[in-house]
Structure 1
C-alpha cells in the first residue's frame, strides 16, 4: 500500500461557461477546461452554458454543490469588471469559505501575460459543501493560465505541502448492485 498523497486521485468535475454569446459549438474555454481536466485524469460529469445572470449562475452552481457526484466546479466567464458581469456576486453567498489565494495568485500569473489589465479580473474561488469552486475569466488564454498555473496542481493529491483533494466530499460508494434490480 502506498503512503497517502503518493498516488493521483481523480476528482469529478463540473464545468460552467457563463456567457451571453457562447454556444456549445463555439465554447472554446469550456472545451479547453473539459479537455485539460480529462487529460489530467479527472472526470467531467456535467457541463453547462448559462447567460451572465446572477440567479441562473447561482441556481446551477447551487445544484452542483448539492450533487454528491460533483467535487469541483470550474467556471469560466462573468468575472470581468463590466456591470453585467455577475459571477463573483452569484458565488460569494454560496461559499462556506472563500479561497482568497486563488484570485490573488491568478492575478499574479495573469499580470505576467497581460500586465496591469489583470486588475480588472475578479477571479474567485471558494469551498461549499466540500466542493471546490474556481471562477476565472472567460477567455481560453485565461482558463489555460488558471488551469496550468494553479488548479491542476491543487487537484493533484501528490502536490506538497498541500492540495484540495482532502477537502473534497467523498463520492458515493458503488456497491456493485444495480438500483433497478
Structure 2
C-alpha cells in the first residue's frame, strides 16, 4: 500500500500546475494529521489496549503570510476511557510551516494540552519535516517525521518521536 501511495504521489507531483502554487502568499491551509496518544495533539487517533481506549479529533489551520510560509494554529479534543474512570483532554498548537521548494514542509510549533483533573499538563516544542504530494491544486498528502521536546519536566522530561501522515486542503 505504501508503494502504491508513493507511485501515485510521485506521478501527481509531475502533474502539478506550477502557475498557481498551493503555498502562495494569501492562500489558506486546513490540515488533518494522524496523531500520537502520548501527548496533546490536534490530530486524529484511536487506540485500544488492555481495556484502555484513547481517542482524539482535531484540525490545524493556517494562512500563508508570504510564499511558502504559513502561520498555523490548531485545536483538538480527546479523551481516555479506562476501568478506573474517564478523562478528557483539550489540545492546542501554534506555530509555523515553511515549504522548501514549495514541497518539503518544515514545521516548528508549540503544542500543549489541558487534561481534566490533572495536576500537571504537558507542553512540547515540536519540529518536523516531510514531503508534500500534491494531488491537484487543492489537496496534498504529507507523510513526515516529528520530534517533540518536553517543556514541562514536572509532567515528563522525555521527548517523543512521531511518524505522521497529514492531509491538507489549500484555498
Q: TM-score, normalised by structure 2?
A: 0.23
| Structure holding more strand per residue | 2
- Larger CA Rg, structure 1 vs 2: 2
Q: Per chain length, whose mean CA-contact separation is higher, i.e. which structure has more relative contact order (CA < 8 Å, sep 6+)?
A: 1
Q: State TM-score, norm by structure 1.
A: 0.22
Structure with greater helix percent: 1
